[in-house]
Structure formats: C-alpha cells, structure tokens
A and B are shown apart, each in its own frame.
Chain A
C-alpha cells in the first residue's frame, strides 16, 4: 500500500511524514521516537495506547495514523516538556500509583483530561472516568489517591 503524506502538530511542533493507511497511531509515533503510547490489547480496552488528538483522548491502537493529518497530537512525553513533571505525574510518584509502569502513560493522560473537565473530582467520578484504563498490577487504590492528590496540588 502506498504511503500518504500527512502534516500535523506533534507535542507543539509542526511535523510532516508519509505513512501507509493501514498503520495505526502507535506505529506513527514510534517513528518519531515516542514510545509512551503502547499497543497492548489491540482492542482499545486497556488504555495503554492513549494519545490526545485535538485535546481528546483516543486509543492509538484503533486510530489510523493518517487520521491525524492537520490535527494536534499530544503524547505523554509532552507533559514534562519544560523539564518539570506535571502535577499528575508528580502525584503518581508521591502515591506510588504504578508498579510495572506499562499502563502508566495512559492513566496519566486520562487523569489530565479528567482534571481538565472536573478539577475536583469525587471518587465516583475518578472511577467512572478511568474505567477505560486497565492496570494488571492492580495499582487502582493508589491511582485513585494520586488523582485526588493532583487535584489538590
């Protein structure tokens, strides 16, 4: 299949590349050395591949790379662009809200989106909002604490 030329904004910078239409967003990001979005379940169920496209979280494993043409793409690697961790990242560290770390970028991005929409979420809202992210190490109690902490920071 022939590659298609696309241009988009990646973590604040304009970029151009060519990609075949069957490749997903995770594969596209790998070409830019961005490895925080990871394909795990391949069905958009685990959230390990979460990427923000025009500010909205998508599952990178189910989202074709060509679809980001003309859009604004933001990945977990952008959160500490200034050299400082985001509040959510710091809170995840403070609360020990992960073990193996494989699902963590997805949880961090979704927690950012959650706090944008609900700056002071209840535990119920946290659970509802993060229900599309799974953690096999079972760090959920610490994740809930971390989101609450980030909201207070």
Chain B
C-alpha cells in the first residue's frame, strides 16, 4: 500500500491521551537536587556583591552557586549559537532583569525556592537601553566585548561591530534603487513596529543533568540535542562522545527551546555536586528566558505608471535583547526576504541585530518572517489603496513567479505563490459582494501573503535498521514536539521498504544512539531529515538485497526479509543498517551585496484572508472568518499538516490581537498567564486551512516543511481588513481594541488622551 500521503494518527497518540507520554518535566532521578534561580532585579548593572550566607544556612539547602563558582569549573563559561556572549551565571555585569545570578540547590524544590528569597545582591546600576532604534546609537553599550562563536556554517562571518550594540548587520543590494526611485511615478514610505512576545510552551523550560566520570547525561526539553552535545563538550573541553543528550517528547517548543538554554547550567551544577541536578522554570520565569524580537521596519517603495513595483528599500531593526542567542540568523536569513514575494528589480535591504537590556530574543515560529510580512503586506496594501487599485489585483500584478530571480539573486523554484494567493482570494470570496455592516458594526476584508527561504546549509543524518524478523527501526535526532515528525519519517521509511508505517519504530533524540541533526527548527526537519531518512531506507534496502545475494538467492527474489536473514545467518540473527546524510548545496551571499544564486533549498509560502467586524464605539474587533493557505509541497501526512497550519494561525492570532510583554524599568509587569493573554477556545474564529496542490521536486516524495507557514499572512490580513472596514491603519502590533479605538478617534479629529 502507498504510504506517503496517507492520513494517519501520529504514532504516539495513545500515550498522549492517557497522560503517559514521556516529558522531561516529569523526570526524577535518585539523589537528585533541584535548583532554583536567583535573578537580577536590575536591567543593567555591575555586580558589587552577592550575599548568599542566609541561603546557605537554611536547613535543607545543599549548596548555593554563583558565577564565580562556575568559573572555577569552566574558566570561560560563555555560551551561545552565534556569539559566546551568555555567561552560565552572571559575571561582573547583569544585562537584563531576570538574568540568572545564583542558584540554590536542595533535594526539596520548596526549600531551594525559600533559599532564593534569602539571597541579596548589590549592583551599581548602569543606564539601560530598551528600544532598538535608540540602541543603534552607541551611548549605552550592552556588551563591552563581542565574542563570535563560529559554530554554524552560515554564521562564520560574524564579527559584531566593536563599540556598538550591533551584533550583525546584513546588507542586500540589487539593481539601482536610487535611480529607480528617481524614475518612479510614485513613492511610498512607512514604518511598522512589532512588540515583544514569547513562545510560552506549556511544558516550561526544564533540564536535568546526571554526572558520570568525566561524562554527563543531559535530559532536556530542547529542540536541538546535537547542538547541546557539541556546546557542552566545548565548554568542558571534552570529546562529543562524553556528553549524552536525551530528549523525550516536548510539551511545546515553537523555537524557544533551541540551542542552549538551561543545559550548561545544570551540567555545571551536576559536575560540581556529583549529583543529578534538575532545574524547571515556572511560567513566570519563562518571560526572562527567550522571546520574539520586537522590530522596527522602515519600508519604502517606488511604483511606475502601470502600477508595477520598481524599487524597494527595507531597513529592519531587530531588538535582540541582552544576548544574541540565534538573533543574528533571524536578522540575516529573514532579512534577505524582507522585500516580500514581489518581483522588484531594484532592492536594498539593511537588517540589524541589536543588543538591548531586554530578555533575549530568538526564533519563534517563522524565524522573523511574521514580523516582516506584517510590515511589507501592510505597506503593499497601503500602496494599492493610495493608487486606487484593488489590493488583490495590485498584488497579482507584482507577485514573484517561479523562474524569476528573487531579490537575493536566487531564482524562485517550486514556490506556489500564485496558487496560494488564488486559494485565499477565492475562498474568502473576494469578488463577491458581502455584508459591510451598518451603524457601529462595520465589516471589511483583507489579504496577505508571505515568503520564506528555509535556512541553509544544514545537515541531517538518519539510520534505518532492519532486524532479522524484518521489522524496521528508524533513528532520528529530530525532536517531536507535536508536529508529527516521528510519524512522517515512519511513512517515508515504510514507503521505501514496502511496509506499513504503523509497524515502523521511530527512535528519537538520544545522542548516544541517534545521529547528528542540526536542530528541529525553521520548518527544516521534514525536508532535510526526511530526505536523509529516504536515503537511509534506500541504503538499507540495497544492503538487504546484497544480503540476499550473499545467501545465494537469485536477484529479484521475493523471499521475505526474515527468510533472507535466516538463509544468511542460519537463524533469526543479524541486522541490516542503512544510513545517510543530507546537506543541500548552498552558496553564501556576497558580504557586500547579499547576492547568491543558491541561497536556499526550498521556499515556503503562506497566505491568509480574513473578514473582520469592527465595533466603532469600542474598537473591539471580531474575526468573522479566517482562511489560510500554505504550500506544503506534496504532504506526507496531510491531516497533521493541516492541524499545524491552523495551529500556527491560532498562535499568530495571539501575537496579532492580544499578546505583548509590558516593561517597566526592564521588569516584565505581566509575566503570567493571568496578565499575558494567549488565545483560548473562545477566541477561535471560524477557520479554514488549505494545503494547495504543489510539489517540491527536491523534497522527500515531493514534500516540504510548513510548520511556520500558517503564521505568515495572519497579522497584516487583519490590519488590512480593519482598514477596509473603517478606514484606519494600525502600524504596530498588537492590534488591541484600544489601538483601534485610538485610531478611530484620531480619524474623527477627537483623539483620546495619552495614557
């Protein structure tokens, strides 16, 4: 039976509905200590003293550890995927509120927590900077020295700019923008902003380290176990094989649990105490771990007389917070698609990753793309309206098509931009009249479409094992956090080897057993690991045929595998092990112009159309209907992909309408689910998600990643629909009722007073 394309429940469903699925959250080991973190209360300051005496004297406290203690174990205790800029515990300075300064260890987590309350620290407070535009000036420096990591192939060029807060500046130059603007019939310029929000996985960050003899086992809720292994080995000066990283299922990730988070800390504490150490964050503490970049995006476009876009400049400022994390990759990899899915001959992009005194920012479901689409699709809509053109027709005229060069210099290929756009336009019924409301309730419609280039170059390695009875086991480093990766690989392997997917055992994320994978991120897994898995299964199939030949069976024999093993080894014995690595070809962008003719192995496309109803008395908006369309290539497990698309849209609804971290003096004043509003079941509008007919020719059986694509169009489609309904334009996320009401009142000439 054909396997890929079957709609099957994920392999682990029974464990999940019975509450028996394995998460790091639950893990307890004999003799384990719990660590609770004492955190900075100031956004920027020199540490003058840390008084841990009272905590140490609390009965039941095993030990209190500060940065100085860590440094005795690891002289250079700085980590990070792009820069080695983050100390395991603060040294000399603190750079954001909530930065870990000390840890109290106890076999009872309540006592450890009590111990934390007894610690005091004194700081010489330094001026702090929170805004990405202000931080472009070097008046306040978050870091005195910048330390590039040099770990990843695509970030080897990182230097940082000494004497500034700029961790990365990326530039793209195509055509002659100045000339094109001079010749343009009309020029439009806008500035859009996005807010700081966060992943807020329901399994909060948690890691456990178990010490051995010059080795460690780390159990962790993490999306990139191979990176954790390499980074921990580097910190301790060990070979990779001294570190074992195990990841069971993840209770949500969304890009938050990437690279290193708590792992270096628990590893150090376990080596110090010679006991297993667990640190599990509370929901509140998650607000001080990793967030989504706030951005300012200045965008300017030139249009010729016929309504064609001829020039676009994009200046994007990414507020990366106190530590770079993977922000430089966000600024670069998203930066080069900042001009959007349009065919524009003259494009300049300047994209800056900037340090500030906020909680660090990293990747969140889209690697920066949702922030960009918010700006360029709001801008595109404004241009169409100014020109008196239909926003759909204006886009159709300017959309980039397969075979045409993207602004990066790479020719667009297998990107279903037109199909996705047609799908949302027809499903929202753009050409049909609709009820525009009356009185104080007004309705409008909006569309938006976004493009992403998957991150490159990255490597996945897979192993497929056929046991002597013919049963099949696949080994993968992909972390399954609900996206259904285990099941997708089972389908791929089953397709190649002619078995049922349900019979394939998938072993995931244990670095002693599963081979290297760059990480579960950026919608890369299905394409990269999926290709590796297909090749590994083919390798296993070839080896099984070779085994049959060794056993003297004629070529093309239809003996079942178990008989082949029996013939070869005289009994039920042996294995056939197939393996494969997959890394796509890649050409790094030119450092001056950002040009490359091979910048990505595949393009992702997502679009959304919405109908909204605006209450002009309160500013409250109601989504009447949301339609989403995504290019997932030929989906491997369509039902699971569709749920991913609608899940992504739900998450983006939160980032669009309600979610925002509020700061006061660097403190997050709404660090709880009570005060930070995520979407609930009552907030879900009628939704309809479609996977358009498409094929990624280089993907496994025509498939490509799509976990993020459902986020792309949601925010600008809503802003565009509000504009359509009531004529006001929201330039900054989130679009709260207050923001809409302020815009309405300003439009009426009777603005509301400032807060």
Residues of B within 8 Å of A46, CB to CB, are 202, 673
Residues of B within 8 Å of A45, CB to CB, are 673-674
Residues of A within 8 Å of B202, CB to CB, are 38, 40-41, 46, 48, 100, 102-103, 134-136
CB distance from B668 to the nearest CB of A (A): 15
CB distance from A46 to the nearest CB of B (A): 6
A102 to B249, CA, bound (A): 9
Binds A, one of B15-23, B68-76, B323-331, B415-423: B15-23
**B647 touching A98, Cβ below 8 Å:** no
**Residue from the set A46, A48, A98, A140 with the largest chain B CB neighbour count within 10 Å:** A140
Contact A41:B672 (CB < 8 A) given known A75-B19, A89-B18, A134-B680: yes
**A93 touching B682, Cβ below 8 Å:** no
CB distance from B417 to the nearest CB of A (A): 25
Q: Does B753 have its Cβ within 8 Å of any Cβ on chain A? A: no
Among A108, A136, A141, point to the contact of B678 (Cβ < 8 A): A136
A153 to B649, CA, bound (A): 30
Q: Does A96 have its Cβ within 8 Å of any Cβ on chain B? A: yes
Q: Does A19 have its Cβ within 8 Å of any Cβ on chain B? A: no
Binds A, one of B387-395, B438-446, B638-646, B733-741: B638-646
**B643 touching A139, Cβ below 8 Å:** yes
Interface size on A, residues (CB 8 A): 52
User: Chain A 72-107, CB within 8 Å of chain B: the 1/0 string?
Assistant: 000111011000010001001110101111111100
Q: Does A130 have its Cβ within 8 Å of any Cβ on chain B? A: yes
Residues of B within 8 Å of A115, CB to CB, are none
Binds A, one of B6-14, B377-385, B428-436: B6-14
User: Chain A 101-144, CB within 8 Å of chain B: the 1/0 string?
Assistant: 11111001000000000000000001110110111111111111
Among B9, B16, B25, B650, point to the contact of A104 (Cβ < 8 A): B16
A102 to B481, CA, bound (A): 10
User: Chain A 23-58, CB within 8 Å of chain B: the 1/0 string?
Assistant: 100000010001111101111011010000000000
Among B203, B646, B687, point to the contact of A102 (Cβ < 8 A): B203
**A134 touching B643, Cβ below 8 Å:** no
Residues of A within 8 Å of B682, CB to CB, are 127-128, 131
Residues of B within 8 Å of A96, CB to CB, are 9-10, 639-640, 643
Main SS at interface, chain B: loop
A-B contact count (CB 8 A): 156
**A101 touching B251, Cβ below 8 Å:** yes
CB distance from B532 to the nearest CB of A (A): 23
CB distance from B652 to the nearest CB of A (A): 9
Q: Does A22 have its Cβ within 8 Å of any Cβ on chain B? A: yes
A96 to B638, CA, bound (A): 11
**A41 touching B283, Cβ below 8 Å:** yes
Which size bracket describes the interface of B in this complex?
35 or more
Residues of B within 8 Å of A37, CB to CB, are 19
**B18 touching A102, Cβ below 8 Å:** no
* Residues 173-214 (chain B) with a chain A CB within 8 angstroms: 199-204
Residues of A within 8 Å of B2, CB to CB, are none
Residues of A within 8 Å of B23, CB to CB, are 38, 102
Residues of B within 8 Å of A131, CB to CB, are 680-682
A81 to B422, CA, bound (A): 50
**Residue from the set A40, A94, A136 with the largest chain B CB neighbour count within 10 Å:** A136
Q: Does B26 have its Cβ within 8 Å of any Cβ on chain A? A: yes
Q: Does B282 have its Cβ within 8 Å of any Cβ on chain A? A: yes
Residues of A within 8 Å of B254, CB to CB, are 136
Residues of B within 8 Å of A136, CB to CB, are 199-202, 252, 254, 651, 678
* Residues 252-303 (chain B) with a chain A CB within 8 angstroms: 252-254, 282-284
**A108 touching B17, Cβ below 8 Å:** yes
Among B19, B203, B680, B684, point to the contact of A100 (Cβ < 8 A): B203
User: Chain B 640-680, CB within 8 Å of chain A: the 1/0 string?
Assistant: 10011011111100000000000000000000111000111
Contact A92:B17 (CB < 8 A) given known A40-B204, A101-B12: yes
CB distance from B170 to the nearest CB of A (A): 31
Among A36, A38, A143, point to the contact of B203 (Cβ < 8 A): A38
Q: Does B250 have its Cβ within 8 Å of any Cβ on chain A? A: yes
Q: Does B587 have its Cβ within 8 Å of any Cβ on chain A? A: no
A36 to B26, CA, bound (A): 9
A123 to B15, CA, bound (A): 27
CB distance from B48 to the nearest CB of A (A): 32
**A35 touching B251, Cβ below 8 Å:** no
**A134 touching B678, Cβ below 8 Å:** yes
A103 to B202, CA, bound (A): 7
CB distance from B746 to the nearest CB of A (A): 33
**B639 touching A138, Cβ below 8 Å:** no
**A36 touching B483, Cβ below 8 Å:** no
Among A30, A79, A100, A134, point to the contact of B26 (Cβ < 8 A): A30
A145 to B292, CA, bound (A): 31
Q: Does B110 have its Cβ within 8 Å of any Cβ on chain A? A: yes
Q: Does B405 have its Cβ within 8 Å of any Cβ on chain A? A: no
- Which single residue of chain A is at the shortest CB-CB distance from B199? A136
CB distance from A61 to the nearest CB of B (A): 10
Q: Does B482 have its Cβ within 8 Å of any Cβ on chain A? A: yes
**A100 touching B481, Cβ below 8 Å:** yes
CB distance from A105 to the nearest CB of B (A): 4
User: Chain B 127-140, CB within 8 Å of chain A: the 1/0 string?
Assistant: 00000000000000
Residues of B within 8 Å of A130, CB to CB, are 681
Residues of B within 8 Å of A99, CB to CB, are 481-484, 643-644, 647
A137 to B678, CA, bound (A): 11
A96 to B7, CA, bound (A): 10
* Residues 531-552 (chain B) with a chain A CB within 8 angstroms: none
**B646 touching A141, Cβ below 8 Å:** yes
A141 to B625, CA, bound (A): 13
A118 to B723, CA, bound (A): 41
A75 to B640, CA, bound (A): 28
- Which single residue of chain B is at the shortest CB-CB distance from A80? B18
Residues of A within 8 Å of B251, CB to CB, are 38, 40, 100-102
Among B17, B249, B640, B644, point to the contact of A89 (Cβ < 8 A): B17
- Some 7 contacts from A to B, beta carbons below 8 A apart, are A30-B26, A38-B25, A38-B26, A38-B251, A40-B203, A100-B251, A102-B252
Besides the contacts A38-B23, A101-B251, what 11 more A-B pairs have beta carbons closer than 8 Å? A22-B110, A38-B25, A79-B18, A85-B14, A92-B17, A96-B10, A99-B643, A101-B482, A126-B681, A131-B681, A136-B678
A contact set with B: CB distance below 8 Å: 22-23, 30, 34-38, 40-43, 45-46, 48, 75-77, 79-80, 85, 89, 92-94, 96, 98-105, 108, 126-128, 130-131, 133-144
The 3 closest A-B pairs by CB, nearest first: A36-B19, A138-B650, A99-B482
